[in-house]
Structure 1
Amino acid sequence: MGIKIITDSASDIPKELALKYNIEVLPLLVYKDGDTTEYRDNVDIFPDDMYEFMIEGGTVKTAQVSYESFYRKFEECINTDDEYIYIAFSSELSGTYQTSKMVEIELKEKYGDINIEIIDTKAASLGFGLIVIEAAKVAKQTNDKSKVLETIKYMMKNIEHIFTVDNLEYLYRGGRVSKASAVIGGVLNIKPILDVEDGKLIPFEKVRGRKKAIKRIAELVSKRNIDLEKLIVGINYSYNKKDALLLADMLKKMYGIENYILGEIGCSIGAHTGPGTLSVYFLKQNN
């Protein structure tokens, strides 16, 4: 008997780490404008292909993990001796968590108590992914479910998200900024610095120019942390790996940070933030 971790593709966990820590990833769904095909994030459609489509003027929409997918997976779990924890994308940004809870209710009515715990991380992208990875590490080391849940709770409380986007138009399409802000931002080359607070996307600073935005992200890491040399950070990007490596180099030169997870923002997140997004995630240590 063991403890198994399930998550969804909005966690943007690099495939090699999902394999290493035996994390099962359920894909959110992606739809291209004018195409009725249902694409599974990072299964049928991959980030670079989607970003190229968006750069050429195409629009994409996303949908949560389907009810049927949850039902099949959770029912499969019930028929094993293992304990399962499904760690979900923020309920403030997607209906995925709510759908998983609906499936849980139906299965409990059918089977009684089930061996699946569902957690709303109130986190997104690789910030969410770092919570999942740490939970999976603990799950591999122990059969104590309470320790895994304590780890998740601690990570959720202390995980930080800081990111910028290259084009405000994509945030406007997703209802995150006004049309006026998107237009003015484009004209003035304004790059917003954003955060995730209680599961919601929050713009909190504006910087003019891409290079200044990257530098500001690096500066903000030090304002939210102590003991920076031991910090493990997540850095991810959409169609701009060069900028991600530049940010990693800045963090090394400024603070001695050498441990980081580098990954590409998947389709379920990138559809709303667009190509050119750059993010850093880390565990706050000053409280």
Structure 2
Amino acid sequence: MGSAVAVVTDSTAYLPAGLAERHGLTVVPLQIAVGGSTRDESDISTAEAARALKEWHPVTTSRPAPERFADAYRSAADSGARGVVSVHLSAAMSGTVEAARAAAEDAPVPVTVIDSGTIGMGLGFAALSAAAAALSGGTAGQVADAASRRAALTRSLICVDTLEHLRRGGRIGAAATLLGSALMVKPLLDIRDGRIAPLEKVRTSSRALARLEELAVAEAGDRRVDLGVQHLAAASRAEPLAARLRERVPDAVDVFVGEVGPVIGAHVGPGMLGVVVAPQL
């Protein structure tokens, strides 16, 4: 293992390829159903999910079964871990934390389950901080604290083309207040108290993109931060946005660009852009 404490997360962390493996993270996949077939999120391409969403086919998601977490915890113990810290997406958005806690009750080693209160790279940065603490020899308490503190510091900013996917998926929360004018605006959202919440509304896609950038730069300030630029079927806008943020946030340490997977994609829809600002501990 390389550490006495193993760190487990879930597939909605959307870490860039190879990053989880390099940091010793175990990733448990959520489930997604497209066209009546339920698969692990890792077994369906984002392009397939985005195509189904664009054609308004039903796409649904579900938490992993507790047995999947039980397998991960047992494997960690078999590999020599004396404890596990399991860091997951917001309990207000998914039953994943609940499933992890159910499995933790019968795990062969102590398991601490952390509700990150967020999703996507917000969760990813928290898991990476936990992994770094574990690899440096931290106790389970120190590893859990690293995840919780990083998650609390992190801000996720989101721009969607339409609120319809969030409404259909039941994840719209307080952003429902924008529905009445949703056809005439491009909503800017963030994650507060574990839920997607309305932030601002602007009139055009270009203005929404500019405002997303402005908010991210302001959030970073003069702190040392990591940035995650995430999108769904919008690479042509995400890559230039990341380049501009690299220039405007001189204290950015790492800037990751990636496409969200189908679980988040099912709820935000094609065209989504997001920026995660994660101050370093």
Whether these two folds match at TM > 0.5 is yes
1:62 corresponds to 2:56? no
Q: How does 1:151-190 map to 2 (within 5 A)?
A: 151-175=146-170, 176=172, 181-182=178-179, 184-186=181-183, 188=184, 190=185
In 2, the alpha carbon distance for the partners of 1:254 and 1:79 equals: 46
In 2, the alpha carbon distance for the partners of 1:84 and 1:184 equals: 46
In 1, the alpha carbon distance for the partners of 2:130 and 2:236 equals: 30
Give the secondary structure class of the aligned counterpart of 2:94: coil
In 1, the alpha carbon distance for the partners of 2:221 and 2:159 equals: 23
Change (3 A) 1:173 1:77: same
Give the superposition deviation at 1:80.
4.5
| Aligned residue among 233, 236, 240 for 2:234 | 240
The one-letter amino acid of 2:98's match is: Q
In 2, the alpha carbon distance for the partners of 1:235 and 1:283 equals: 11
**Could you tell me the TM-score, scaled by structure 2's length?**
0.89
In 1, the alpha carbon distance for the partners of 2:132 and 2:193 equals: 25
The one-letter amino acid of 1:46's match is: S
* Counterpart contact for 2:85–2:143, Cα < 8 Å: no
What is the aligned partner in structure 1 of residue 95 from structure 2? 95
| Aligned residue among 176, 198, 211 for 1:216 | 211
The one-letter amino acid of 1:194's match is: L
Give the superposition deviation at 1:257.
5.9
| Aligned residue among 181, 189, 195 for 1:200 | 195
Q: How does 1:1-287 map to 2 (within 5 A)?
A: 2-33=4-35, 35=36, 37-42=37-42, 44-82=43-81, 83-105=83-105, 107=106, 114-175=109-170, 176=172, 181-182=178-179, 184-186=181-183, 188=184, 190-227=185-222, 230-256=224-250, 259-284=254-279
- Report % sequence identity: 26
Change (3 A) 1:126 1:86: same
**Could you tell me the TM-score, scaled by structure 1's length?**
0.87
In 1, the alpha carbon distance for the partners of 2:40 and 2:132 equals: 26
**1:158-202 deviation line (CA, Å, top 9, x unaligned):** 11110111122112212317889557423x2x1111111121111
Give the secondary structure class of the aligned counterpart of 2:53: helix
Unaligned runs of 5+ in 2: none
The one-letter amino acid of 2:96's match is: T
Question: Size of the alignment, in residue pairs?
Answer: 274
In 1, the alpha carbon distance for the partners of 2:63 and 2:53 equals: 20
* Counterpart contact for 1:29–1:38, Cα < 8 Å: yes
In 2, the alpha carbon distance for the partners of 1:145 and 1:265 equals: 29
